[in-house]
Structure 1
Amino acid sequence: MSTGTVDVGEQNAGAWAGHSLGERTVAYDERDVILYALAVGAAATDLDLVFEERLRVLPTFALTQAQWAPDALGSLGAFDITTAVHGSQRLLVREPLPVSGELTMTARVADVWDKGSAAVFDVEVESAYFLATWSLFAPGRGGFGGDRGASRPKPRETPADLELEVRTASNQAALYRLLGDRHHMHIDPEAAKAAGMPRPFMHGLCTLAAVTLPLAAAAGAHPADLVELEGRFASPVFPGDRLDARGWTGGEAGQDGTTVHFEVTADGRTALSGGRAQFRVTA
């Protein structure tokens, strides 16, 4: 819950910086963990992701449990929820998630960036297990004289070290929304059209998580050993789309880990840019 509201009619968007969104504790069990793994593309043969006797939790599952925070900011009136979009996502993993239990999280507006015609709200959610940041692009809320923040990442021009194909399923958005993000535009054609889309589209977080599974395999890592992840949502992905991912390795590998920078296209258009995934790799 929030500790208070900011009067948008009187305050500029920058006034939300530092605003607390309060604390929340959520409970989940192994069924939720398995459903999540299936929703982001795990196969029935990936027993340590879908079988309770061997279960490991994908770190990106935490993002489904923390979705309440950016939703709470929108409900407080910081921006127009009908036009704001999820611009990018970051995740820092501190500890592996247990297969079931409770998560206590605190959330706040870490920063608000002034992009001129729009503002970008960074919503930070923290727990003992992770630190996650949603960047929300809000048209019409810029021009308040604040810092512009980082510019969008430039496409890489060197040949990729990895080239991967990821097939999304026609029912993937319908399945993923059972994890908590039930915005109608991901299931209802009329709601999708109202949002300017020709048909229901994938959750950005589902697309991002789905790509990490083959990236981990290509890097010789397990997807549950993800320690850092980030990516910018450049254009929508529709259920059934084929995703083409290109990855670049090297330059950031540590003694017990490896990093992949990546970009993803769908039907020739950039879907994810500025991607970065770091995995812990152990012998």
Structure 2
Amino acid sequence: MPIFYPDVLEQGAKPRTFSYGDKDVMLYALGIGLGHDPMDETELAFVYEKGLKVVPTAATVLASGAGRGEALPTKEGHRPSQPNYLMLVHGEQKVELHKPLPTSGTFTTESRTIGAFDKGKDKGAVLLNQTTWKDESGALVATLTGSSFCRADGGFGGPSEGQPEPHPIPGRKPDLSVDIATREDQALLYRLNGDRNPLHSDPESAKRSGFPRPILHGLCTYGITCRAVLQAITGYDPDQIASHQARFSAPVFPGDTITVDLWKDGKEISFEARVQARNATVIKNGLTVLRS
């Protein structure tokens, strides 16, 4: 089923309620490699319930146990859109925290499509989706915005312009760089957060997708860039991070060492990530905004 415009902008999911606890928070932190040295008290704080801290990008997975949610009712005359998921890749991700994430809680989420951009019949399409979290008092906690590049769904007649521009990286050399090694089994651990796509665990599935071996989840790499900001900029204080966004540009293989380059300009931290051994830039146009 193709993309129908502007009908696709009416699509979304009904509000759904979910809860998470300290185990979910710690599993996410372990999944992005925190706590590898149990004697490092700065990282232990993210994987041990005593004085537990929450990685801001955990917002991308903490609601996964509640499922996708039931679709909104179809209005009369509405044409439901369904992109070809076999040809869909995650393009960009942003997490905006209106208040720091607690170590546990119950929340209500709402999701909807907020944009659809047509690159052309043979060039694909981009869909923008947004999910909001509210706490039990109705206060807004988080806004998650992501783009999907639908490689087989171009030519639907939607606008070709108006998509948010990527954050520009400064032209100077990085102010500092952080090397973070991933483990050979990192994708097998990270998938327990909810994304069990066999591309990340099954060698045969990876080969059918054109990869020599299973690849690391893009959102795991995204979380690792947040970990780099925590380590190099905030002194492992997650409450300083108001938002974290990035564009995915190449896959990471478990076992790769990721180098995160950072530029600090006041409250804005620009970043990119690369795997030097393969001369591959895996994250581009990254931006973290600090609260202070």
TM-score normalised per structure 1:
0.86
Where structure 1 has 5 or more consecutive residues not aligned to the other structure, the ranges are 1-7
Structure 1 pair 165/209, CA: closer, same or farther in 2 (3 Å)?
A: same
- CA distance in 2 between counterparts of 1:91 and 1:233 reads 14
Where structure 2 has 5 or more consecutive residues not aligned to the other structure, the ranges are 73-79, 134-139
Select 1:245's aligned residue among 260, 280, 283.
260
**Which residue of structure 2 lines up, in the alignment, with residue 262 of structure 1?**
271
**Which residue of structure 1 lines up, in the alignment, with residue 247 of structure 2?**
232
Q: Paired residues, what number? A: 265
**Which residue of structure 2 lines up, in the alignment, with residue 141 of structure 1?**
153
Q: CA deviation at 1:279?
A: 2.9
- CA distance in 1 between counterparts of 2:208 and 2:192 reads 22
- CA distance in 2 between counterparts of 1:169 and 1:12 reads 42
SS at match of 1:159: coil
**Is 1:119 matched up with 2:128?**
no
SS at match of 2:45: helix
- CA distance in 2 between counterparts of 1:72 and 1:134 reads 18
Select 1:211's aligned residue among 204, 209, 225.
225
- CA distance in 1 between counterparts of 2:260 and 2:154 reads 33
TM-score normalised per structure 2:
0.83
Select 2:92's aligned residue among 73, 88, 93.
88
- CA distance in 2 between counterparts of 1:30 and 1:139 reads 38
- CA distance in 1 between counterparts of 2:209 and 2:231 reads 35
Q: CA deviation at 1:280?
A: 3.5
* Most deviating of 52-61 and 227-236: 52-61
Q: How does 1:64-103 map to 2 (within 5 A)?
A: 64-67=61-64, 68-69=67-68, 78-103=82-107
**Contact in 1 for aligned 2:12/2:71 (Cα 8 Å):** no
- CA distance in 1 between counterparts of 2:235 and 2:250 reads 28
Q: 1:175-232: per-residue Cα shift (whole Å, max 9, x none)?
A: 0110111111110011112222221111111111112122222213435222111100
Question: What is the alpha-carbon root mean square deviation over aligned residues?
Answer: 2.3
Letter in 2 for 1:142: G
**Contact in 2 for aligned 1:162/1:248 (Cα 8 Å):** yes
Q: CA deviation at 1:87?
A: 0.5
Select 1:173's aligned residue among 176, 187, 193.
187
- CA distance in 1 between counterparts of 2:71 and 2:274 reads 31
**Which residue of structure 1 lines up, in the alignment, with residue 136 of structure 2?**
none
**Is 1:52 matched up with 2:49?**
yes
Aligned identity (percent) is 32
